[in-house]
Structure formats: structure tokens, C-alpha cells
């Protein structure tokens, strides 16, 4: 039986549209034929290193063709890709490596300071692969290009079924420790089917990917659907508004996914109107609520604007709000996609009446199969065939969904998820802090900012600068509080629980 895994997409695309440009990255352009053969070489090279089905291959890479090459090479082998957020602090990266136990870790040379201390530790990594090493620069690690060049172009002979896991993306949990969401070939395939049912991705699509590919949104909202359809993905390694506008004009980009903070930054470019963006056919936002002013800006220019809601655990797409409904259904996350079922339930998992608030449950073939080595958390999240999201939501008479509150007290800043408990654990290590709580507060630029509310020990004082310096290196920079409030004591209810609603009001 032929493989049904996502690695086969490139094999078929070489047969169907081999000379079509698949990926543009800097000065490099890869057709589907050259990309598939390059991926085959990488897959066979990894196989020669001893990578087998079910093995984890971690990558600490900026946006580039390499992370997509690893995605498909692992898929062809039946291995599991583990993308790591390069914005994490070294301690956070170490935790993920120790938890995932990858047999290989590929990293860009710019992250050597994070990776070097890991190389002498007992973490299961047998092979370190260095990306971006200039010719002639000495390194004890395997050079990526040399590794690829040494592999065979033959198609790996693997029978990969859709129920096999191909990617493990880490998402923070309420315990403060990240969990690896296990996503199958089927999850990603059905996410593509769902996406194509609501968003007009065509064979002539030219999408630009600048949001970080270690996030499920950047990977699966437009990037993988475009490659599935045989379109072109233009990959930018960092977000710069001017550079992005130039790339849209130069490459005649037809679609673009950004998080709201990026959209806002793009619109603030002083001479925005001088760029020729007539090629842009539609735009997509996700990761946090998008300001209506952004949606209206593109609508006035005839560009349909889609707003999506999803989770890492759902590969990610759950709902889409079409631009046509953005104004009259302001605040909604839209309607569920074709192959996604949702329920809104009370604490006993009974459906609540229309308009009432309850927990959002999701079911469908794009929902993860569980968390890596987390049987208890998996049982809690997946019950009776439904993913319990922890999000509170309501549904109106037309079937539009509205999120009332997010997972527990999660903060979304610039499209990045921040779980307060994770930050609080670091704050409690500060010698001056007696108790601490972290909440999100509105921020015009980032959507939300991280605010710390602390009570200090008797006779002590604490400044924001001091607190941020303490957190530096222990937390990713976007998780470090931007606002500090010092109080006598945290407000609590009769059960002793901190009243975060009071803290948010300030």
C-alpha cells in the first residue's frame, strides 16, 4: 500500500508540477522537483544516521527552507519533527530537549550559545546538525548542507499511515511546563481539507510566511495548504514591515497570514500606499483578536480578510470569520469549519442553551491524539472523543461562536501564548517577592501585555527594571512583565484563590 503521509505530497507534486516554484527563500528558489529531491536526500541522510520511525528530530531554526525540509523529510521516514521556539530562554529549551529526547537536534549557528551547553549533557541527542555554517568555518557538528549533499535522491520506502504522529509542537499548560501536542499525518491533512473549504487557496497561490514556523499558525494556516495545492511559499526569516511590503510587491504575493501585532505594525508604515499590493487576493489573521480597523482597512481596498481561531491541539483551525461578517459579528471567532464539531457545555458536560456561556469542546479528524508522555493531561483534555479546550464560549442564533474567556488565564501578546503560572514560578524565585500574580492587560501594540502584581517582603522595595533583569535569561523576552504593581497583599476569595479579575481592573 502506498504511503498516505504528508511526505507523499512532495512526491506527487514533483509528478504533477515539478517545474513549479515551491519555495522562495532569499536568493534561493526551489521547484517541486528540486525540493522533493533535496528532501529525499535529507531523509536518507537522517536514515543513515540511524533515525527511525517514531524517533524525534528537534529543530531550533529561524524561518527558512530548512525547517520545511525537515518537516517533510521526517514525514517520509515516519519520524517526528519537534520545532522549538527559538525565543525561549536557554532553561526552557533545555526542558523541551530533555522531555522530547530527540535523537537529532538541528540548530542555526546563531543559536549556538543556547545549544553548546546542551551538548555535554545526557539528553539522548546523538547527532547535532549545524545550519548556516559558512564554508571553511570549523565546527565539530554535522554541517547541514554537507549532510544533505551526501544523501541519496531515492524515495524512502516507507508505508506511513495517516494515524502516525509526524509532529510534536510544544504548548504551555496551566502547570507552567510545556506539553508536546502529538499531531498526526491525518491531523495535518484534514486541517488542509478544512482550510481549503473556507479559504480560497489556489494552485497559483503565492503566500508569504513571516510568522515563525515553530508555531502551528505559521506552519498550518497557509504554508502547508499552499504546498498541498502546488502553490508557492515565500519564506521571510524575520518580520520587518518595510521589508515585508517590498517582498509582497516583488514576489507578487497573493495571500498573507500575520498575527494582529504584525498587521498593526504593517499599517503604521508611513508611506504604505506607495507599495504596489494589487496582487494580494486575501489576508488571514490569527493568534489573537484582530482590531476591526485592520479588517476595514483591507476591505476598503477590496482584499477579503479572514480571521481564524484555533489551537495547537487542533492543528490549528477550528473556526473562521469571513470579512463580510466582521463588522456585524464583531467579537465573534466565526463558525466551525466543515470537518470540525463543537459543543458548549456546563461543568457536567451537558450542552448549555443557545446564548449561554460554557466550556468549548472540539471534535474532528484534525484534533491531536494526545500529549507526549502526559497520560493524565491527555485523559483530562480528551474525554469521550471531545477535546476540552478550557475556553469559555457562547453561540448565537446564527451559529457564530464568541470566546468569553481564554484558557484559564492565558495571555496572548503579539500572537505568543503566555501562561501566568509559568511566569509566576520565576517571580517567586526572586528573593524580595513574598507573593506574585501575573495577568494580561490591554496593549494597543501587542494586544496584551504581561503585568506582574507582587507583594514584597517586609522592608523591601522592587522596581520594574530590577524585576525584568531578574527574569532575563529565565524566561523568553515576550514573557517578561512589562508592567509592575506592588501591593500590600494579593486579593483572594474565601477559598484563598487569587482574584485575577480584580488585578486586571488594576
The residue among 411, 186, 431 whose CA lies nearest residue 314 is 186
Domain boundary (299, 327, 359) is at 299
Q: Read off the C-alpha cell for 197.
A: 473549504
| Distance in angstroms (rounded) separating the CA atoms of residues 218 and 86 | 14
Residue with cell 493531561: 377
| Distance in angstroms (rounded) separating the CA atoms of residues 341 and 395 | 13
Q: Are residues 417 and 295 in the same domain?
A: no
pLDDT of residue 404: 76
The answer to the question of residue 339 being in a domain is: no
Q: Which contiguous run of DSSP H or E holds residue 24?
A: strand 21-25
The answer to the question of residue 61 being in a domain is: yes
Domain boundary (277, 299, 321) is at 299
pLDDT of residue 2: 61
| Distance in angstroms (rounded) separating the CA atoms of residues 38 and 10 | 11
Number of domains in the chain: 2
The answer to the question of residue 233 being in a domain is: yes
The answer to the question of residue 58 being in a domain is: yes
pLDDT of residue 176: 58
Q: Which domain holds residue 429?
A: 411-505
Q: Are residues 137 and 276 in the same domain?
A: yes
Phi then psi for residue 29, to 5 deg, are -135, 125
How does 20-48 read in b/e, with b if 16+ C-beta sit within 10 Å? bbbbbbeeeebbbbbbbbbbbbbbbbbbe
Q: Are residues 271 and 418 in the same domain?
A: no
The answer to the question of residue 388 being in a domain is: no
pLDDT of residue 1: 43
95 contacts 82 by C-beta, under 8 angstroms: no
pLDDT of residue 481: 96
The 8-class DSSP code of residue 218 comes to: I
60 contacts 114 by C-beta, under 8 angstroms: yes
The answer to the question of residue 362 being in a domain is: no
List the Cα angle 411/382/365 in 5-degree steps.
95
Residue 42 sits in a domain whose CATH number is 3.40.50.12780
List the Cα angle 180/127/144 in 5-degree steps.
100
Q: Work out the end-to-end distance of the chain between its first and last CA atoms, rounded to an integer number of angstroms.
A: 61
pLDDT of residue 408: 65
CA atoms within 13 A on the CB side of 14: 15
10-residue mean pLDDT series, the chain (506 residues):
85 97 97 98 98 98 98 98 94 95 98 95 96 82 95 94 97 70 98 96 97 95 98 97 97 95 87 94 88 85 92 96 86 94 95 94 98 96 95 93 74 84 85 91 90 93 96 94 94 68 80
Domain boundary (251, 274, 299) is at 299
List the Cα angle 81/84/87 in 5-degree steps.
160
Residue 437 sits in a domain whose CATH number is 3.30.300.30
Task: Let me know if 493 is exposed, middle or buried by CB neighbors in 10 A (0-12, 13-18, 19+).
Answer: exposed
CB neighbours (10 Å) of residue 375? 9
pLDDT of residue 290: 80
Residues contacting residue 443 through CB under 8 Å, at least 6 positions apart = 413, 449, 482
Strands 370-371 vs 178-184: parallel, antiparallel or unpaired: antiparallel
Amino acid at each position: 500500500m502506498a504511503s498516505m503521509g504528508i511526505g507523499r505530497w512532495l512526491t506527487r507534486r514533483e509528478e504533477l508540477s515539478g517545474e513549479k516554484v515551491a519555495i522562495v527563500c532569499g536568493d534561493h528558489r526551489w521547484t517541486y522537483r528540486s525540493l522533493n529531491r533535496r528532501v529525499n536526500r535529507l531523509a536518507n541522510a537522517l536514515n543513515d544516521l540511524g533515525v527511525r520511525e517514531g524517533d524525534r528530530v528537534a529543530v531550533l531554526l529561524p524561518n527558512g527552507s530548512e525547517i520545511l525540509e525537515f518537516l517533510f523529510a521526517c514525514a517520509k521516514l515516519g519520524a517526528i519533527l519537534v520545532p522549538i521556539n527559538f525565543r525561549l530562554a536557554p532553561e526552557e529549551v533545555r526542558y523541551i530537549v530533555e522531555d522530547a529526547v530527540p535523537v537529532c537536534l538541528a540548530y542555526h549557528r546563531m543559536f549556538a550559545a543556547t545549544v553548546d551547553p546542551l551538548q555535554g549533557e545526557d539528553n539522548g541527542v546523538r547527532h547535532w546538525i549545524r545550519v548556516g555554517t559558512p564554508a571553511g568555518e570549523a565546527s565539530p557538528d554535522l554541517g547541514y548542507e554537507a549532510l544533505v549533499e551526501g544523501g541519496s535522491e531515492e524515495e524512502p520506502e516507507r508505508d506511513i499511515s495517516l494515524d502516525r504522529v509526524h509532529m510534536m509542537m510544544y504548548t504551555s499548560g496551566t502547570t507552567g511546563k510545556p506539553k508536546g501536542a502529538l499531531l498526526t499525518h491525518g491531523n495535518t491533512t484534514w486541517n488542509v481539507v478544512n482550510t481549503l473549504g473556507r479559504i480560497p487557496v489556489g494552485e497559483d497561490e503565492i503566500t508569504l510566511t513571516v510568522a515563525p514556523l515553530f508555531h502551528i499558525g505559521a506552519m498550518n494556516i497557509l504554508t502547508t495548504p499552499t504546498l498541498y495545492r502546488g502553490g508557492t511559499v515565500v519564506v521571510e526569516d524575520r518580520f520587518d514591515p518595510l521589508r515585508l511590503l517590498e517582498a509582497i510587491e516583488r514576489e507578487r504575493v497573493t495571500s498573507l497570514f500575520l498575527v494582529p501585532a504584525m498587521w498593526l505594525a504593517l499599517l503604521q508604515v508611513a508611506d504604505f500606499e506607495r507599495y504596489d499590493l494589487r496582487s494580494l487576493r486575501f489576508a488571514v489573521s490569527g493568534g489573537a483578536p484582530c482590531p476591526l480597523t485592520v479588517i476595514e482597512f483591507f476591505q476598503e481596498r477590496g482584499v477579503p480578510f479572514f480571521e481564524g481561531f484555533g489551537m495547537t491541539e487542533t492543528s490549528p483551525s477550528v473556526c473562521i470569520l469571513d470579512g463580510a461578517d466582521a463588522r456585524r459579528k464583531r467579537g465573534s471567532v466565526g463558525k466551525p469549519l466543515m470537518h470540525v464539531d463543537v459543543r458548549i457545555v456546563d461543568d457536567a458536560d451537558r450542552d448549555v442553551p443557545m446564548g449561554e456561556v460554557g466550556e468549548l469542546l472540539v471534535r474532528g479528524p484534525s484534533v491531536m491524539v494526545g500529549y507526549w508522555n502526559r497520560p493524565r493531561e491527555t485523559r483530562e483534555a480528551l474525554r469521550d472523543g471531545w477535546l476540552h479546550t478550557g475556553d469559555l464560549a457562547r453561540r448565537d442564533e446564527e451559529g457564530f461562536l464568541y470566546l468569553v474567556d481564554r484558557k484559564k488565564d492565558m495571555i496572548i501578546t503579539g500572537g505568543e501564548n503566555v501562561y501566568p503560572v509559568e511566569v509566576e514560578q520565576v517571580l517567586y524565585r526572586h528573593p524580595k517577592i513574598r507573593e506574585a500574580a501575573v495577568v494580561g492587560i490591554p496593549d494597543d501594540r501587542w494586544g496584551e501585555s504581561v503585568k506582574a502584581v507582587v507583594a514584597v517582603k517586609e522592608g523591601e522595595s522592587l522596581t520594574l527594571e530590577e524585576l525584568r533583569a531578574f527574569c532575563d535569561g529565565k524566561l523568553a523576552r515576550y514573557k517578561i512583565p512589562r508592567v509592575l504593581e506592588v501591593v500590600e497583599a494579593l486579593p483572594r476569595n474565601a477559598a484563598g484563590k487569587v482574584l485575577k479579575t480584580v488585578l486586571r481592573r488594576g
